[in-house]
Amino acid sequence: MSSRLEGALVALAGAMLLRLAATDLYLRYVKSSMRVWLLAAGAALVVVGACRLWSAGRSRRAGGTAVHRPPKVALLLLVPAVVAFAMPPPSLGAYFASRQSAGGAPLRPPSGALTVGADGIAEVTVVDFVRRSLLAPSTLEGVRVRMAGFVTPDVSGLSDFRVTRFAVGCCAADAVPVYVAVREGEGRQPSTDEWVEVVGRPLPVDGREGRNVPVLAVESVRRIDPPTNPYN
């Protein structure tokens, strides 16, 4: 491996981080709070790589050789770079949710009351709704809620489908699916992995749906584009 190649590999890894963080792509893989670190680390790698390329050009003319070559396995750094540039994979969906334990979400107590909008509907996240259903059901009494998530099939057979989000602590590798079962819908069922916005009224938690899965009596289901931040 030549010094030029070393410099190019380091700079390429930095370019990958910069590309992901400069767009919203990084939100499919890590939390939004990581952006500044991705930009800083990407810039640092580009600078270090450029320095190596520059000094490689000089030492070649001077006839110098560096010692201690990195192992061939360093070439594998090409793989994430090619994946990130050429085929950035989508955020996790129904396939990965089906591989996880059913409904084990990290639950922290909900904060405060829901704020109801001008149309009489409260906007909630799937995670917050589940949290409230399990830990503070009184805050949901008599409220109409709107929430967005992707569709997963209802494994219990009691409901039409489930609106799903992943709760992510650090990166997509620790994603835990959180479900709300949707009932009493009319019209065409949305298909698996489609993103939807549902409006409805909470029903009492039905243990048969599974631990930690509250139920929503749905009024409307609208298909939406995947959000830029797909998790939580």
Partner 1 sequence: MLAGLAVYGCIVAALLLSQVPPLVPQGSVAAWLTIFLAVTVQALPFLVLGVLVSGAIAAFVPSGLLGRRMPARPIAAVPMAGLAGAALPGCECGAVPIAGRLVAGGVPPAAALTFLLSAPAINPIVLVSTAVAFPGRPEVVLARFLASFATAVVVGLVWSRLGREEWVARARAGATPVGSRWAVLTSTAAHDFLHAGGFLVVGAMVAATLQVVVPRSLLDGLAGSGVAAVATMAFLAVALAICSEADAFVAASLSQFSLTSRLVFLVVGPAVDVKLVALQAGIFGRPFAARFAPFTLGVAVLSAVLVGWWLL
Q: Is 205 a residue that touches partner 1 (CB under 8 A)?
A: no
CB nearer to partner 1: pick between 26 and 161 = 26
Considering only residues 155 to 194 of the shown chain, the ones binding partner 1 according to CB under 8 A are 167, 169-174, 176
Residue 213 interacts with partner 1 (CB under 8 A): yes or no: no
AA letter at 22: A
- Kindly state whether residue 209 participates in binding partner 1, applying the rule CB under 8 A: no
Interaction residues for partner 1, span 81-110 (CB under 8 A): 81-93, 95-96, 98-102, 104-106, 108-109
Asked if residue 22 binds partner 1 (CB under 8 A), the reply is no
| Pair 144, 121: CB distance under 8 Å | yes
Minimum CB–partner distance for residue 124 and partner 1 (Å): 20
| Binding test (CB under 8 A) with partner 1, winner from 18, 22, 24, 30 | 30
User: Site map for partner 1, 104-143, x if CB under 8 A?
Assistant: xxx-xx----------------------------------
**Closest by CA position to 13, among listed 66, 75, 87:** 75
Q: Which of residues 57-76 bind partner 1 (CB under 8 A)?
A: 66-68, 70-76
Q: Which segment (6-14, 111-119, 183-191, 198-206) binds partner 1 by CB under 8 A?
A: 6-14
Residue 224 is a binding residue for partner 1 (CB under 8 A) = no
| CA 200, chain centre distance (Å) | 25
> Is residue 228 involved in binding partner 1 (CB under 8 A)?
no
Q: For the beta carbon of residue 211, count every other beta carbon within 10 angstroms.
A: 12
Using CB under 8 A as the binding criterion, the count of chain residues that bind partner 1 stands at 78
- Return the range that interacts with partner 1 (CB under 8 A); candidates 29-37, 141-149, 179-187, 201-209: 29-37
Residue in 29, 129, 150, 179 binding partner 1, rule: CB under 8 A = 29
27 binds partner 1 (CB under 8 A): no
